Amino acid sequence: MAEFVVIRLGRDNDSMVEWIVADDSGARRSEPFRGALSEAAPLVQGRPVIALIPATEALTTTVNLPARSGAKLNAALPYALEEQVASDVETMHFAAGDKRESGLRPVAAVGRAQLDAWLARLEEVGIVPWKIIPENYGLARIPGTMSVLVDHDCVFFNDGEDSEFVIQGANPSDALVAAGKLADHTDDEAPPEPSGHLIVYCSAADEERLSHDWIALRHELHSVDINLLQDGTLPRLAVTVAAGQGVNLLQGRYGPKADYGSWLRPWSRAAILLLTLVIVGFASKGVDYYRLAQEEGVLREQFTQQYLQFNPNASADIVDPMGVVNSLKRSLGTGTAPQVFLPSIRELATAMQQNSEAKVEAVSYRAGVVDIRVISPDVETVGNIQKALSASGRFAASIQSTDKVADRINSRIQIREAGS
């Protein structure tokens, strides 16, 4: 189970930060701490670091783009969001998350200068973040339920689907109106029918401060469930992002650089050993080839000397000694055609095993033709033996005669090479 150090950076260049350890199952592994960023560095101890940036400094929205991922998606994001950002898109950094079930893709945008400043602060104390995520992604999305987290003067909101944002200096009811979940009606209008469920996370002080808002929301929603944050906001945000939620801003130009050297370093000795074996193998093959070439030359010379003694009129330059030998064998009547008798006997043995009720009475061989006499219970068995002998395609078997003697069939089958 992987553990992460989640560090929440302060707003307005606040030098104080908060940090906590959480694991990828969504459980906290330490108490939350607050202090200078340098005090959080010793807790890292090899754990990946997830840095949460202020939600007020980032734009979080969704887009519907056909591009799947990679460079094409990163190039399309500025044009898709240029109407939603007040700054010049050339000064902004955009990052996208995985596509959701709705088909929309979550996107986060932040100023490059601000992102560079956060990275510089972390690097100054020796922290290299694994992820940088806008903090409002730490408010978990629950399908079919609206969620609100009140953090002093900020209200984080998501509708459980694709809408998620933060409003500063507003009440939770204002966030629901902005999301289109509540009608902004006047006192003279009739109250609407209750609809929707809301989960709220806030401190005890914020619960009391917003008591009138909770009463109003309970009149307009099916339910309002308030959960007090005994240890502050960070633990709630940390367990969600540690479980893999949120858009990581470290993409594109800010993404991790491929360190091929570190990947290959553990395999360097094995690679050297493999290269050595390949070189030795090729060297050994080369030595063997040279030795065999030398031996072939000696044997060719010896053959030529012997052959010239046998045939003085032949050429002294013999290219194919085996061709000369086969020519001599043909001239002496000992051709190189393959034998028939033994292979045919093997086929016969297989055929008789398949037809065990039959018995071989006699076998004769002459001039490449094998004659066998077989005793069988019926003509069908003779036919089966003939087919089995011809099954391999190497031999052609033919029934020469069949005679019925008492209750047995005497037959003669002839075997020869196919095509002969």
Residues 26 and 172 in one domain: yes
199 lies in a domain? yes
pLDDT at 186 over 70: no
Number of domains in the chain: 3
d(CA 1, CA 340): 72
- Shared-domain flag, residues 103 and 205: yes
Q: Count other C-beta atoms under 10 Å from residue 301's C-beta.
A: 11
Query: Could you tell me where the beta strands, DSSP code E, fall in 291-407?
Result: 359-366, 369-376, 395-405
**What pLDDT was estimated at residue 192?**
56
Averaged confidence pLDDT in the chain: 86
Asked if the structure places residue 264 within a domain, the reply is no
Q: 164 in a domain, yes or no?
A: yes
**pLDDT score recorded for residue 55:** 94
Which of 162, 165, 179, 164 shows the shortest CA–CA distance to 221? 179
Question: Which among 226, 257, 288 is the end of a domain?
Answer: 257
**How is 38-49 classified by DSSP, letter by letter?**
HHHHHHHTT--E
Residue 6, CA distances (Å) to 97, 229, 375 in order: 19, 17, 92
Nearest to 166 by CA among 145, 192, 135, 197: 135
Residue 12 pLDDT greater than 90, yes or no = no
Q: What is the C-alpha separation between 319 and 405, in angstroms, rounded?
A: 62
**Cα atoms found within 13 Å of the Cα of residue 292, Cβ hemisphere only:** 6
- Asked which of 38-52, 106-120, 345-359 is least confident by mean pLDDT, the reply is 345-359
End of a domain among 234, 257, 280? 257
For residue 336, pLDDT over 50 is answered with no
Question: Same domain for 30 and 176?
Answer: yes
pLDDT at res. 93: 92
User: pLDDT class for 337, splitting at 50, 70, 90?
Assistant: very low
The answer to whether residues 249 and 275 belong to one domain is no
The predicted structure's pLDDT at residue 74? 79
**Is there a contact between 202 and 226 (Cβ–Cβ < 8 Å)?**
yes
* CA–CA separation, 324 and 322 (whole Å): 5
Supply the CATH number for residue 388's domain.
Answer: 3.30.1360.100
336: in domain: no
Least confident residue range of 31-35, 42-46, 88-92, 265-269 = 265-269
Residues 6+ apart with CB under 8 A from 52: 6, 7, 8, 9, 133, 134, 135, 138, 234, 237, 238, 241
Same-domain pairing of 206 and 79? yes
Q: In the listed set 224, 257, 290, which residue is the last one of a domain according to the structure?
A: 257
- Whether residue 19 is found in the same domain as residue 74: yes
Reply yes or no on whether the pLDDT at 169 is more than 80. yes
Q: Model confidence over 311-321: pLDDT tens digits? A: 666 666 777 77
> Does some domain include residue 195?
yes
326 and 375, same domain (yes or no): no
Among 411, 409, 416, smallest CA distance to 390 is for 416
DSSP 367: T
- What pLDDT digit, counting tens, does each position of 72-107 carry? 787 888 888 887 887 788 899 999 999 888 889 999
Other Cβ atoms within 10 Å of 316 Cβ, number: 8
User: Do 290 and 413 share a domain, yes or no?
Assistant: no
Q: Say if residue 292 is in the same domain as residue 407.
A: no
Q: Are 188 and 246 in a shared domain? A: yes
- Three-state secondary structure call for residue 345: helix
Q: What pLDDT, on a 0 to 100 scale, did the predictor assign at position 106? A: 93
303: burial class by Cβ within 10 Å (0-12, 13-18, 19+)?
middle
Are 364 and 306 contained in the same domain?
no
What's the rounded mean pLDDT across residues 276-301?
Answer: 88
* Predicted pLDDT of residue 317: 73
228, 155: one domain: yes
Confidence of residue 124 (pLDDT cuts 50, 70, 90): very high
Residue 365 lies inside a defined structural domain of this protein: yes
CATH no. for residue 167?
3.30.420.380
Q: Which residues of 223-238 are buried (b: 16+ CB within 10 A; e: fewer)?
A: ebebeebeeebbbbbb
Give DSSP secondary structure letters for 2-15.
-EEEEEEPPSTT-S
Is the alpha carbon torsion for 168, 172, 177, 178 positive or negative? positive
Question: Per-residue pLDDT for 252 more than 60?
Answer: yes
Query: 60 is in which domain, residue-wise?
Result: 3-257
> For residue 352, is it within any domain?
yes
Q: Is 20 within the bounds of a domain?
A: yes
